[in-house]
Amino acid sequence: MPTDTSEKGLESLIMRHMTGVDGLAIAPNTAAEVRAPYGGTGYIAGSAQDYDRAHALDVPQLFAFLHATQPDAFRKLALADANDASDINRLKFLARLSAEIGKRGVIDVLRKGVAHGPLHFDLFYGTASKGNARAAARHAQNRFSITRQLAYSSDETRRALDLCLFINGLPIATFELKNSLTKQTVEDAVEQYRRDRNPRERLFEFGRCVVHFAVDESEVQMCTELRGRGSWFLPFNKGTHDGAGNPPNPHGLKTDYLWKEVLTPAGLTNILENYAQIVEEKDPRTGRKKRRQVWPRYHQLGVVRQALADVRAHGAGRRYLIQHSAGSGKSNSIAWLAHQLIGLQRDGDQTDQANREVFDSVIVVTDRRLLDDQIQTTIKQFMQVGATVGHAQRSGDLRKFIQDGKKIIVSTVQKFPFILDEIATESGRTFAIIIDEAHSSQGGKTSAAMSQALGALGEDDDAGPDPEDTVNAALEKRMAAHKMLANASYFAFTATPKNKTLEMFGEPLPPDAEGRVRHRPFHSYTMKQAVEEGFILDVLKAYTPVDSYYRLIKMSEDDPEFDTRKANRKLRRYVESHEHAIRLKTEIMVDHFHAQVLAAEKIGGQARAMVITSGIERAIQYFHAFQAYLRERKSPYQAIVAFSGEHEYGGAKVSEASLNGFASGDIARKIQSDPYRFLICADKFQTGYDEPLLHTMYVDKLLAGIKAVQTLSRLNRGHPQKYDCFVLDFQNNSEAITVAFQDYFRTTLLAEETDPNKLHDLKAVLDATQVYSPEQMQRVVELFLGGEDRDKLDPILDACVAVYTGTLDEEGQVDFKSKAKMFCRTYSFLSSVIAYSNAEWEKLSILLNLLIPKLPAPQEEDLAKGILEAIDMDSYRVEKKSVQKIVLEDTDAEIEPLPTDACGHKPEPELDRLSNILKTFNDQFGTLFTDSDRVTKRIRDDIAPQVAADAAYRNAKENTPHTARMAHDQALGRVMQILLRDDTQVYKQFVENESFRRSVGDMVYALTSRGDVQPTRGNAAGS
């Protein structure tokens, strides 16, 4: 017979591997006789005729398991005939079990069993602990079965699934198989689930199965809850070349890892015990509870299992950098890893009771409250969370938690060093430190403080101070504290690793031909793969830059000189924050959102937008402009503003709460429900914010590097009804965004390690300035380490400052301060990663960290002062460019190590006349103007305010509204006559062009009747 390349051939191939038979002719009610030996593949071929459609159970497999493992309890069920479907006791037990699965979900029923009257039945025996022979024997009695062509439907059509996997008769996973050789792929399998698998069928109800797989010979997709057309399938692939799909398999099909690795009895047991869960979430607004079922993605399973295997093999003291794309589920990966690091034992250490567990405590360092909640929610499924997790907020918390037996301790980046700094416990403790968003939490001082604080935990609490502790001994202890701990393993998660992060946590590769040592992540799930798989959206697919054009005019007769560089910076800031510019950009954003996002019912009509601003002042400006324009449009929607602290605006202190009308902590929840559709941000919510309803981003802030990637990536979160996203950018161009994203599209590598010799070079240059002497440095170190008061240190430091200001010219001061800062930054990083210590570096670091804050900044005259008072904005317009799809290079990125060259200098000012500065500025930014732009601005800024001030018109609006339009037109005529003196062209258009006259009248009447302009007192005719 030729090779069977059909869908049935794939079914047979899987069945033969898992059970040893093709599964086509399995007799019913023979489960007890066809028990396959546990081991090998470990699966039994089930009979399709044994499936009970009413209860969604393989009853013979269930009863065979209960009879073999719990014979006394099973006998007490008093079944007259276990195979008789009409037996009343049989029906009662199956109805009870089916109801519990429907209520709790099959995962919980497997874990906790079911009570039936006075009886309790275990329905699954988990992995046995090492050395527990009785538990191992019980685990071996679990019945893993797989049934082919399962007729699941209770209707007459008897629709059938290709395969269904059971444990002890309870359904775990379903499969729809396709074969591209018959011109059907995994997408057809997904469509079959969505179209033909009714979620109201008993088997497909929420929680009755853990997962549904769509499979062909190349790809796997998975879904944890069938919702008809709304079923959300996610990829379950290994990835290849940092992208989607699976690599060629020299030993079989590309997708056979699913049945050969993932779904083996041991692999499936591991997932059910440590990953799969039903999470219950409560809406704090409505109080309504929502449940969702979780099954790990392949990359999540991979990183946790690989990390655990490496710890088992090598114990504590290693570093792991995990580069997982934004939106890839890092929170779950961290939670699963934290849970499984508890109680982990090294290979071969099971007899060593003194050091049975690799880690005493798992410490999670994060800035995300959401992650803290998620860790607790995840672990709650597996153990008593109250006894396991503590959230460290104050000094002393860590020690107390350890004493109370809390194994997982969560802390923020900022509080972590201070919490641990005062703590010392008994020696010999080991730690697993999981760092969320490692690029931000591993700044030099934070990292050093973290290592120093954890180092204190290894000291003897009762040792007390050593009376012979000299300065050198104190230096040695201080330098040792900088080092990353040998008794701790670091697991650093980030989507965007910086050079320091890669060098600190990445795996060093063998030296290349030039002797360079590169570093790479321990595990990666790239942005490329996540986008290609459709797990996250490509935020660069619809990137639209907006060019701004403006014309400034000189308001004074004088033509003073200004520094061109500073003047241009001030002018650009002035025009972009001008009320007219804010208003115009607001109209563009709001109009676009209504016309292109709401009208198109993006995300099923639930889409939200984020507005990125350059600062708090600008965010508040936008907030007021949005609220005003949304009212004008009679839009039912509102904006929320987000920034930190209080800010002075309009002569009063304002905060998020005072502007929004609700507490800051409610912002993330409020934006999810109407009337709120716009989130206007000043730094807040630009990183670490996970909101799938965000569809559109409006950017009015310069972005670069990691900040650009993190900010735009707020849009990439997947949602069952989200098919695209959109960026409208007023400040950046596609070239800058491309450069930013390219470093993190695929795996990021460190080009080479930082050269420690650069510290020798920097120290030599700093020493040569003679700002400090060796004796002064030594004395400062002795006093500082000896804990002396400030009045002993400051005289020495002040003497150094006097030399700095008295002997160095302005250029020399800038150069010294720049190199001093570079030395401190580089040393704080290198001292934690290089193998050796250098006391002279440590001494200079102590001195400079105390001295730098005292060094005065060079006095710099503002040679652009007063320029804003001498100019005004004549015209402003923006032009939306065409939508661009930014395509990144398909290659790993190499980033350079930490820069160690400091060359500070003060640029010489370039002075020019105001008229020339404005001409150059207008030539650069004001090239796309027409007379209509100028006229529109004139109408809005000059004509409308004067009409609004006309006494007759105001009186008509207040007392005789039906004559208001007539009074308005008369007032407009009077104002236009006044304009004849200084704008003949506008007046001529008004008099001779009826269409123009009508459009001006409509525009001015709309502005004045809504009260959008302030009356100009004393100018208008009739006022």
pLDDT-derived band at 260 (thresholds 50, 70, 90) equals very high
Q: Which residues pair with 727 in a beta bridge?
A: 543, 697
More confident residue, 82 or 488: 488
Query: What's the pLDDT at 38?
Result: 42
Confidence of residue 688 (pLDDT cuts 50, 70, 90): confident
Q: Tokens 């009853």 — which residue?
A: 59
H-assigned helices in 557-701: 564-577, 579-592, 616-632, 656-660, 667-670
Return mean pLDDT, the chain.
Answer: 84
Between vectors from CA 911 to CA 909 and to CA 914, what angle results, nearest 5°? Answer: 140
pLDDT, position 904: 55
The answer, yes or no, to whether residue 464 has pLDDT greater than 60, is no
In the structure, what pLDDT confidence band is assigned to residue 419 with cuts at 50, 70 and 90?
very low
What is each CA distance from 139 to 66, 69, 134, 144, 260, in whole angstroms? 13, 10, 9, 11, 20
**d(C-alpha 689, C-alpha 245), whole Å:** 28
Name the burial class of residue 69, with classes exposed (0-12), middle (13-18) and buried (19+) by CB atoms within 10 angstroms of its CB: buried
pLDDT recorded at residue 190: 95
At 273 the three-state DSSP class reads: helix
| pTM (predicted TM-score) | 0.81
pLDDT in tens, 162-208: 999 999 999 999 999 998 888 899 999 999 999 999 999 999 999 99
The greatest distance separating any two alpha carbons of the chain, rounded to the nearest whole angstrom, comes to 110
What pLDDT does residue 418 have?
52
Q: Count the helix, strand and coil residues of the chain and give each as a percent rounded to the nearest 5.
A: 45, 15, 40
Identify the band that residue 156 occupies on the pLDDT scale cut at 50, 70 and 90.
low
Contact 232, 223 (CB under 8 A): yes
Of 772-781, 913-922, 952-961, 1003-1012, give the range with the top mean pLDDT. 772-781
How far is it, in rounded angstroms, from Cα 646 to Cα 656?
A: 8
User: Residue 868 above 60 pLDDT?
Assistant: yes
Q: What is the pLDDT of residues 366-405, one digit of tens each?
A: 776 666 666 666 666 666 555 677 777 766 777 777 777 7
pLDDT (tens digit per residue) in 558-575: 777 887 888 878 787 887
Which pLDDT does position 1020 carry in this prediction?
A: 41
| Top-ranked range on mean pLDDT: pick from 167-176, 411-420, 696-705 | 167-176
Indicate the pLDDT class of residue 461, thresholds 50, 70 and 90: very low
pLDDT at res. 921: 67
pLDDT band at 423 (very low <50, low <70, confident <90, very high): very low
Asked if 691 contacts 722 with a C-beta cutoff of 8 angstroms, the reply is no
| DSSP 3-state of 672 | coil
Report d(CA 183, CA 161) in Å as an integer: 19
Higher pLDDT residue, 774 or 1003? Answer: 774
pLDDT at res. 697: 95
Q: Is the pLDDT of residue 222 over 90?
A: yes
What percent of the chain shows pLDDT beyond 70? 85
pLDDT at 985: 65
pLDDT at 908: 65
- Top pLDDT among 913 and 126 is at 126
The single-letter DSSP state of residue 666 is G
pLDDT above 90 for 446: no
Q: Which helix (DSSP H) or strand (DSSP E) does residue 291 occupy?
A: strand 289-294
Residue 896 reports pLDDT greater than 70: yes
Lowest mean pLDDT among 184-188, 268-272, 350-354, 855-859: 350-354
Within 8 A by CB and 6+ apart from 127, the residues are 139, 266, 269, 270, 273
Residues 6+ apart with CB under 8 A from 55: 94, 95, 97, 98, 202
Domains, the chain, ordered by start: 7-278 (no CATH), 303-461+470-525 (3.40.50), 757-854 (no CATH), 931-1010 (no CATH)
CA distances for 1020 relative to 622, 725, 956, 957, 1015, angstroms: 30, 48, 16, 17, 9
Contact assessment for residue 394 and residue 400, using Cβ atoms and an 8 Å cutoff: no
Of 154 and 267, the structure prediction assigns the larger pLDDT to: 267
| Residues linked to residue 291 through DSSP beta bridges, in sequence order | 280
Of the candidate ranges 17-26, 576-585, 706-715, 921-930, the one whose mean pLDDT is the lowest: 921-930
pLDDT at 851: 93
pLDDT at site 750: 83
DSSP tag of 890: S
Give the pLDDT confidence score for residue 602 in this predicted structure.
Answer: 95
pLDDT at 424: 34
Q: How many other CB atoms are there within 10 angstroms of residue 860's CB atom?
A: 11
Residue pointed to by tokens 């050198």: 472
**Residue 932 pLDDT exceeds 80:** no
CA dist., res. 545 & res. 878, Å (int): 10
- What tens digit of pLDDT does each residue of 107-135 get? 999 999 999 999 999 999 999 887 788 99
Q: Are strands 507-508 and 519-520 parallel, antiparallel or unpaired?
A: antiparallel
Mean pLDDT in residue range 50-56: 93
Residue 36 has pLDDT above 60, yes or no: no
Neighbours of 925 (CB within 10 A): 19
pLDDT in tens, 815-834: 899 999 999 988 888 887 78
Residues 6 or more apart whose Cβ sits within 8 Å of residue 179: 5, 6, 7, 9, 10, 216, 217
Structure tokens at 380: 């709650």
Q: Is the peptide bond before 296 cis (omega within 30 degrees of 0)?
A: no
Whether 339 shows a pLDDT value over 60: the answer reads yes
Q: What is the pLDDT of residue 226?
A: 95
d(CA 807, CA 803): 6
Summarize pLDDT for 467-486 with one digit per residue, the tens: 334 677 777 777 776 777 77
d(CA 269, CA 589): 51
Tokens of 774: 């060796």
Alpha helix stretches (DSSP H) within 318-415: 330-341, 369-380, 397-403
Side chain identity at residue 46, one-letter code: G
Q: Which of 213-222, 315-324, 424-433, 486-495 has the lowest mean pLDDT?
A: 424-433
* pLDDT band, residue 661 (cuts 50/70/90): very high
Instruction: Kindly state the tokens that stand for 1018.
Output: 């004393």
The pLDDT of 312-329, averaged and rounded, is: 89
pLDDT tens column, 954-984: 888 888 888 888 888 889 888 887 776 666 6
Dist. CA 489–CA 705, nearest whole Å = 29
Among positive and negative, which fits the CA dihedral 79, 80, 82, 87?
negative
Task: Give the closest residue to 338 by CA, choosing from 368, 373, 378.
Answer: 378
pLDDT band at 84 (very low <50, low <70, confident <90, very high): confident
When pLDDT is cut at 50, 70 and 90, the band that residue 466 belongs to is very low
Return the minimum-mean-pLDDT range out of 249-263, 438-452, 511-525, 743-757. Answer: 438-452
Q: What is the pLDDT of residue 534?
A: 87
User: With contact defined as beta carbons under 8 Å apart, do 849 and 444 qualify?
Assistant: no
In angstroms, the Cα distances linking 458 to 291, 442, 452, 478, 494 are 43, 21, 10, 14, 28
Supply the pLDDT for residue 797. 93
* Weakest-pLDDT range from 301-305, 316-320, 697-701, 892-896: 892-896
Tell me whether strands 119-121 and 114-116 are parallel, antiparallel or unpaired. Answer: antiparallel
DSSP string, 191-230: HHHHHH--TTSGGGSTTTSSEEEEE-SS-EEEESS-BTBT
**SS3 per residue for 726-778:** EEEECCCCHHHHHHHHHCCCCCEEECCCCCCHHHHHHHHHHHHCCCCCHHHHH
Q: What is the pLDDT of residue 579?
A: 85
Beta bridge partners of 146: 45, 165
- Give residue 50's pLDDT: 93
The whole-number pLDDT of residue 391 equals 76
Q: Is residue 580's pLDDT more than 50?
A: yes
Q: What is the DSSP letter of 715?
A: G
